[in-house]
Amino acid sequence: MNTIGIQALITLITYLLFITMAFWTVQEIHIERYIPLRAMPGKLLIVLVSIAIGYACSSFFLSVIFNIQNLMYLIK
């Protein structure tokens, strides 16, 4: 039961970490140069794109880690 809690904590931390990294990255692109955006919808678009990219990258990262952990069962 303790490992499930640790796994959930690691998952939440990686989601937040990757979403934050994606947010910083998307802000550096200066998307407003390419797409004419108003103030509030533009900021909302940046946040939603950051969440989508961060979630996808984090899910991939976690999937790779958990699959590597499960390779032990192949060897045993």
Give the tens place of pLDDT for each residue, 22-52: 999 998 887 777 777 777 777 888 899 999 9
Helices (H) and strands (E) in the chain, counts: 3, 0
Task: Give pLDDT, residue 17.
Answer: 96
Predicted TM-score (pTM) of the model is 0.81
The answer to whether 9 and 41 are in contact (CB under 8 A) is no
Return the pLDDT at 33: 76
Tokens of 27: 């802000």
